């Protein structure tokens, strides 16, 4: 049997900072499923239409008519395009079974199958269902599967009883991907080639803006040894010099991170890397070890400086921790990229101004500002949907750059203005510019800063006119 896995294209509007800084990550989920499928004695193909920037007719032309299954993954901003692809596959190849998976299909699994957009939805993790499909198990016995019977009845099979042991998984099918095209987010890597990697699933946090059901609340880890073997594979076969660890909280298990760092040092692996973390998940000792092992940047999710807002979104941190962790990280000589959100429940003009002031004055090197986006499946989405306080459900612009929540404390256009204001006020400061001009840099870093300055400056000046358009 042959399985074609598709990562749909995604168009990002020019007024969105992610058009400038967006990483090109390998679609690790479907690359894993491809490897699992092939391990069962079948064949598969991956079409990464996102990184290849393919139009839908080009995608359809790449599908072999003898294919048995087409699987399409999608998050919320990609779902519209994914649905169009599914319909075009149906028109061109009516005998191919169409499967959808990913965060958005997991939430709307019944509707997608009921409306005959697809034949099946794989909910949550896909490794067990794909393994069972490869074994040609009866559909009714496959966990995490929503499917449609011949009489059009929609069947929702039970969830899998357990989550995957990440150490039991094969390497993703990197050989089926255009590896030369992948890179980290602008500003996240100081060496190229760079690539994103995920070493854990699950999150113990209960932030209202995150969809934790996909992978559960319990963190599951790749062992430090398995991570090392993965890194060595990427270095040997693709010349990778930098890894961006895109785990939600890379340092959630400090012991595993410490072991990884010690292995990097013991094996003298030449690697620079960055990661995501929470302000309550690091210690000064761990940060020093991470720096020694090649970590040069950490992105902390500060979100807001306002205590009420942090409580409203169930962040589980407080602003008193912020400056402490900034000082610890700077002492370890690791750069900080702060992540902030405007437009949370309880947001006001004053809270946005104070959050921006913290970003500018705390000493962090880089900042990313987003507009709070309530993705389907999150507690935030459910709460505002129930109260009829979602401004719209245009999935294409659930993109971190458009107001979605109807707040009684601040108008959406004011949130939008602060989104642009924050980037201008943070990155166009004379002190920020001079500090980066006169800091010591490698040639590779100088090239990066020149590229970053060119792209971000253009975005910032365009935003001046965009924000004027939205003034009340």
- Give me the residue label for tokens 């720096």: 291
pLDDT at 36 over 70: yes
pLDDT at 66 over 60: yes
Note the pLDDT tens digit of each residue in 308-344: 999 999 999 999 999 999 999 999 999 999 999 999 9
pLDDT at 206 over 90: no
Residue 138 phi/psi, 5° resolution? -60, 140
pLDDT grade for 462, boundaries at 50, 70 and 90:
low
Note the pLDDT tens digit of each residue in 67-116: 999 999 999 999 999 999 999 999 999 999 999 999 999 999 999 999 99
Please give the Cα distance from 253 to 255 (Å, whole number): 6
Res 313: pLDDT = 97
Q: Which of 185, 142, 24, 5 is nearest to 82 (CA)?
A: 5
Res 87: pLDDT = 98
Note the pLDDT tens digit of each residue in 106-159: 999 999 999 999 999 999 999 999 999 999 999 999 999 999 999 999 999 999
pLDDT at 17 over 70: yes
Lowest-pLDDT range of 197-201, 284-288, 325-329, 436-440: 436-440
Q: What is the mean pLDDT of residues 388-399?
A: 96
Res 114: pLDDT = 98
Q: Is the pTM of this model over 0.85?
A: yes
Judging by DSSP bridges, how do beta strands 154-156 and 366-371 pair with one another? unpaired
Res 448: pLDDT = 63
Res 217: pLDDT = 81
Query: What's the order of all strands across the beta sheet hosting 154-156?
Result: 43-48, 2-7, 69-73, 97-101, 120-122, 145-148, 154-156
Note the pLDDT tens digit of each residue in 240-298: 999 999 999 999 999 999 999 999 999 999 999 999 999 999 999 999 999 999 999 99
Looking at the DSSP assignment, which residues form a beta bridge with residue 303? 340
Set out the domains of the chain in order of their start, with CATH numbers: 2-156 (3.40.50.2300), 190-469 (3.20.20.70)
pLDDT at 467 over 60: no
pLDDT grade for 388, boundaries at 50, 70 and 90:
very high
């Amino acid at each position: 049997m042959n399985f074609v896995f598709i990562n749909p294209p995604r168009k990002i509007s020019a007024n969105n900072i992610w058009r400038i800084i967006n990483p090109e990550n390998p679609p690790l989920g479907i690359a894993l499923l491809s490897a699992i499928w092939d391990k069962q004695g079948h064949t598969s193909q991956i079409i990464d239409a996102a990184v290849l920037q393919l139009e839908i007719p080009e995608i359809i032309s790449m599908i072999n008519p003898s294919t048995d299954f087409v699987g399409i993954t999608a998050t919320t901003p990609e779902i519209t395009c994914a649905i169009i692809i599914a319909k075009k596959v149906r028109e061109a190849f009516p005998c191919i079974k169409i499967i959808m998976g990913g965060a958005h299909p997991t939430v709307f699994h019944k509707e997608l199958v009921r409306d005959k957009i697809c034949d099946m939805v794989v909910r949550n993790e896909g490794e067990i269902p794909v393994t069972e499909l490869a074994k040609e198990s009866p559909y009714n016995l496959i966990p995490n599967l929503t499917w449609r019977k011949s009489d059009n009845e929609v069947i929702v099979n039970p969830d899998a009883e357990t989550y995957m042991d990440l150490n039991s998984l094969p390497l993703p099918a990197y050989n089926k991907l255009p590896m030369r095209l992948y890179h980290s987010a602008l500003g996240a890597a100081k060496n190229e080639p760079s690539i994103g990697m995920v070493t854990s699933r699950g999150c113990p946090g209960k932030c209202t803006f995150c969809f934790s059901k996909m992978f559960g609340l319990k963190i599951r880890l790749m062992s430090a040894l398995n991570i090392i073997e993965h890194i060595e594979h990427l270095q040997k076969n693709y010349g990778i010099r930098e890894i961006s660890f895109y785990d939600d909280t890379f340092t959630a298990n400090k012991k595993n991170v410490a072991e990884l760092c010690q292995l990097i040092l013991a094996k003298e692996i030449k690697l620079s890397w960055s990661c995501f973390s929470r302000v309550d998940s690091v210690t000064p000792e761990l940060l020093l070890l991470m720096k020694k092992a090649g970590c040069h940047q950490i992105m902390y999710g500060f979100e807001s400086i306002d205590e009420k807002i942090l409580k409203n979104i169930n962040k589980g941190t407080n602003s008193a921790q912020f400056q402490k962790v900034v000082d610890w990280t700077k002492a370890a000589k690791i750069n900080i990229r702060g992540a902030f959100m405007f437009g949370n429940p309880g947001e006001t003009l004053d809270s946005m101004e104070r959050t921006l002031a913290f970003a500018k004055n705390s000493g962090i090197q880089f900042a990313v500002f987003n507009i709070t986006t309530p993705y389907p499946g999150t507690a935030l989405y459910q709460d505002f949907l129930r109260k009829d306080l979602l401004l719209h459900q245009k999935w294409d612009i659930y993109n971190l750059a458009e107001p979605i929540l109807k707040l009684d404390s601040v108008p959406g256009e004011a949130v939008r203005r602060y989104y642009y204001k924050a980037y201008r006020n943070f990155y166009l400061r004379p002190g920020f510019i001079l500090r980066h001009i006169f800091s010591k840099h490698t040639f590779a870093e100088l090239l990066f800063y020149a590229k970053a300055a060119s792209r971000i400056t253009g975005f910032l000046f365009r935003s001046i006119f965009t924000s004027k358009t939205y003034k009340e």
